[in-house]
């Protein structure tokens, strides 16, 4: 039986909180994305409230942006346990889903 996961809508305040935290950390979008290990377009989607991160991406975002305890809790509460890097499909040997190289839209112009 196939389970279809419903796309989760992030809390309205999450994106602006992440954008403000990045600016507070004095990081440009591309630099923050590189440090987090995601593509800059994905980080932009997080900051504009278009996406919800996986748990592991949320933890990396929280660390790189040096979120305070309340901000970290807000981000982790919205994070998905079974999406992106945390998807069970990533553990399938030989699966291109588990391949991080190029999987996040990395470009050489960082």
Query: Against a cut of 0.75, is the pTM above it?
Result: no
Q: Between these two residues, 100 and 5, which has the higher pLDDT value?
A: 5
Nearest to 17 by CA among 85, 64, 70: 70
Which neighbouring-strand residues pair with 80? 54
DSSP 52: -
| pLDDT at residue number 82 | 65
Residues 6+ apart with CB under 8 A from 51: 10, 42, 45
Is residue 7's pLDDT more than 80?
A: no
Structure confidence by residue, pLDDT tens digits, 44-100: 999 999 999 999 999 999 999 999 999 999 999 999 986 666 555 555 444 343 434
């Amino acid at each position: 039986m196939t389970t279809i996961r419903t796309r989760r809508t992030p809390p309205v305040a999450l994106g602006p909180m992440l954008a403000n935290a990045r600016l507070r950390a004095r990081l440009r979008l591309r630099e923050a994305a590189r440090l987090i290990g995601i593509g800059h377009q994905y980080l932009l989607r997080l900051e504009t409230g278009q996406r919800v991160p996986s748990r592991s991406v949320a933890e990396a975002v929280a660390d790189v942006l040096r979120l305070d305890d309340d901000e970290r809790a807000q981000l982790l509460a919205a994070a998905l346990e079974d999406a992106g890097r945390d998807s069970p499909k990533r553990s399938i040997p030989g699966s291109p889903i588990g391949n991080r190289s190029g999987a996040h839209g990395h470009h050489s112009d960082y």
